[in-house]
Amino acid sequence: MKWKVTLSDLNFDQRERKMVDEVIENRWLTMGEIVERLEEEFAHFMGARHAITVSSGTAALHLAMRALNIKPPDQVIVPSLSFVASSNAILYVGAKPTFVDISGWNDFNLSCEDLEKKITNKTKAIVVVHYGGYLADMQEIKRIARKHKLFVIEDSAHAIGADLNSKMAGTLGEVGCFSFFSNKNLATGEGGMILTHNDRLARKLKLLRSHGMTSMTLNRHKGHTYTYDVVELGYNYRMTEISAALGILQLKKLHRANKKRKVLTELYVSNLKGIDGFSIPFRDYPRKSSYHLFPILLNKKVNRKKFMEFLKKERIQSSIHYPPIHKFSYYRKNLRGNQTKLPLTEYVGAHQVTLPLHPLLEKEDVIFVCDKIKKILPQVLR
Ligand SMILES: Cc1ncc(COP(=O)(O)O)c(C=O)c1O
């Protein structure tokens, strides 16, 4: 299928190509000076004390759990309306995810009311996902976390560049995790970043990222040291120099790209106004979003499968964010997902559709998509 309008696209040009060429000419591919430069620039951009690159957003979440010493029989609260990695990371360390419902049809972020109800004496942390780049209610979440002595881990995979009163998403809890997967606002193919203000956590995260080793390959390559000790059970979650080079350029483009996403989101909203059959969440959102996704929520009377098939016929790519995690077979079998009741999450999981949004989209593309939606909707009513 050759899409006319893709869901996402790489905001790459000759500069990325040139930078990758330079890395190859340098003849050093694994974590080195370019990775360090990305970490410095990302930390500065975000206003965080430490930025630690990793190989993916999933690795970032896993290391966050390890660094905070989350282990059995701890429980961690997480929204089910997220990518499965948000919850898998909790399982990797033998802890138990407790799923929390979303706030409502206009706000797909976690409900603070449900969050407080789900806290037990085993709860150690909350994973906050900023859905689509729209920040969850961090003030209230942090108040609850302080009251119950819980860590806050921000899964900021969608929220690169979003902020709350000039403080960036990913800097508001103990640890902030980012994904640089190909469809993200900052894309390096695979890759991720962890932010923290805490020196001790940063040291531990760096050790865990590279097998708990006390010296890096680059140090040995440069002849600074010959041997090393292993002081933690770590992993190979290192980023390559090629990914870091892409990340440096993508970071430079981020502000402008997010602004374009905002303009396109507003264009969608104004062109879809007054059409019966769906609602658009996060209206009147008061803060700076990163506009990662453009989600709509179909009414019960609209057949989603048919709606998405009609879009496909028009060569418009669409997606679903998300099939709820607790409903997946693995979670049903192993975590009694069947007995978990999250009515709002389940409704959104069954009726939500994500429309194309990325900085290479033109205004005409958005208008094209809106016109097709107006045409399609009467044909897909139940
Ligand atoms: C909300 C969320 N969390 C975590 C991840 C995992 O990131 P990665 O794919 O880089 O491992 C993603 C990525 O798709 C995501 O969207």
197 is written with which tokens? 């203000």
Q: What is the pLDDT along the chain (382 residues), one digit of tens a residue?
A: 899 999 999 999 999 999 999 999 999 999 999 999 999 999 999 999 999 999 999 999 999 999 999 999 999 999 999 999 999 999 999 999 999 999 999 999 999 999 999 999 999 999 999 999 999 999 999 999 999 999 999 999 999 999 988 899 999 999 999 999 999 999 999 999 999 999 999 999 999 999 999 977 777 777 777 889 999 999 999 999 999 999 999 999 999 999 999 999 999 999 999 899 999 999 989 889 999 999 999 999 999 999 999 999 999 999 999 999 999 999 999 987 678 899 999 999 999 999 999 999 999 999 999 999 999 999 998 7
- Outline where 48-111 has alpha helix (H): 57-67, 85-92
CA–chain centroid gap for 375, Å, is 32
45 CB contacts (<8 Å, ≥6 apart)? 168, 251, 254
Residue to probe by mutation, ligand 1, list 102, 130, 181, 237, most atoms within 8 Å of CB: 181
55 Cβ closer than 6 Å to some ligand 1 atom: no
Does residue 202 contact residue 52 with C-beta atoms inside 8 Å? yes
132 Cβ closer than 6 Å to some ligand 1 atom: no
* Strand, helix or coil for residue 123: strand
366 CB contacts (<8 Å, ≥6 apart)? 264, 267, 268, 271
Centroid of ligand 1 to alpha carbon of 57 (angstroms): 5
Centroid of ligand 1 to alpha carbon of 311 (angstroms): 25
The rounded distance, in Å, linking the Cα atoms of 355 and 357 is 6
157 Cβ closer than 6 Å to some ligand 1 atom: yes
Closest CA to 312 of 357, 352, 273, 369: 369
95 CB contacts (<8 Å, ≥6 apart)? 65, 70, 71, 72, 73, 74, 75, 76, 124
Closest CA to 161 of 71, 41, 254: 254
363 is written with which tokens? 């205004």
Centroid of ligand 1 to alpha carbon of 378 (angstroms): 35
Q: Which domains does the chain have, with CATH numbers?
A: 14-101+109-251 (3.40.640.10), 254-380 (3.90.1150.10)
- 320 backbone dihedrals φ, ψ, rounded to 5°: -125, 125
Centroid of ligand 1 to alpha carbon of 85 (angstroms): 6
173 Cβ closer than 6 Å to some ligand 1 atom: no
129 Cβ closer than 6 Å to some ligand 1 atom: yes
Tally the C-alpha atoms within 13 A of residue 143's C-alpha that lie toward its C-beta: 7
Closest CA to 97 of 133, 126, 137: 126
Cis peptide bond N-terminal to 330, omega within 30: no
Centroid of ligand 1 to alpha carbon of 204 (angstroms): 22
Q: What is the pTM of this model?
A: 0.97
- 243 backbone dihedrals φ, ψ, rounded to 5°: -60, -40
SS (H, E, C) 208-256: HHECCECCCHHHHHCCCCCCCCECCCCCECCCEHHHHHHHHHHHHHHHH
